[in-house]
């Protein structure tokens, strides 16, 4: 740990000395150039993503045609997801009632123990 701190302190001092001497080996890049490069990279990424999705959709359509499947509308897909939500919502109240029962049992057990152990 001490070595790290010493390196950090000496490194900072060396950096300030180099800057004072005018050693500018690092190229200064404008922020606008960096922003432009990021924007171009983002555009390339979006184009690549769009191209891949188009290829996937073509492959899906080929499989649908080959096996005689039809594309499911979004409404049907949502209906299939809703029963799962209903099952989960039915499950939660049962957990809640179980928690209440357990709480009642614990409370009654504590009362019994308290009655047995109370000082007379």
Q: What's the angle, vertex CA 19, arms to CA 16 and CA 23, rounded to 5?
A: 140
Q: Give a yes or no: residue 108 inside a domain.
A: yes
Asked if pLDDT for residue 7 goes beyond 90, the answer is no
Q: Count how many domains the chain has.
A: 2
Same-domain pairing of 61 and 92: no
pLDDT tier at 76, thresholds 50, 70, 90? low
* Contact between residue 69 and residue 63 where contact means Cβ atoms under 8 Å apart: yes
Average pLDDT estimate for 14-36 = 71
Same-domain pairing of 91 and 69: no
Give the whole-angstrom CA distance, residue 12 versus residue 27.
19
Q: Give a yes or no: residue 119 inside a domain.
A: no
Verdict on whether the full-model pTM lies above 0.75? no
Domain that holds residue 104: 81-112
Helix (H, G, I), strand (E, B) or coil at 29: coil
Asked if pLDDT for residue 80 goes beyond 70, the answer is no
The residue that leads in pLDDT, 12 or 102, is: 102
Same-domain pairing of 64 and 35: yes
């Amino acid at each position: 740990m001490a070595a790290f701190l010493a390196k950090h302190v000496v490194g900072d001092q060396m950096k300030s000395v180099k800057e004072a001497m005018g050693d500018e080996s690092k190229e200064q890049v404008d922020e606008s150039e960096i922003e432009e490069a990021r924007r171009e990279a983002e555009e390339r990424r979006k184009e690549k993503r769009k191209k891949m999705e188009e290829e996937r959709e073509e492959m899906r359509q080929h499989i649908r045609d080959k096996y005689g499947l039809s594309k499911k509308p979004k409404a049907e897909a949502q209906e299939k997801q809703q029963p799962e939500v209903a099952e989960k919502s039915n499950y939660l109240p049962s957990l809640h009632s179980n928690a209440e029962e357990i709480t009642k049992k614990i409370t009654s057990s504590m009362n019994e123990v308290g009655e047995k152990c109370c000082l007379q």
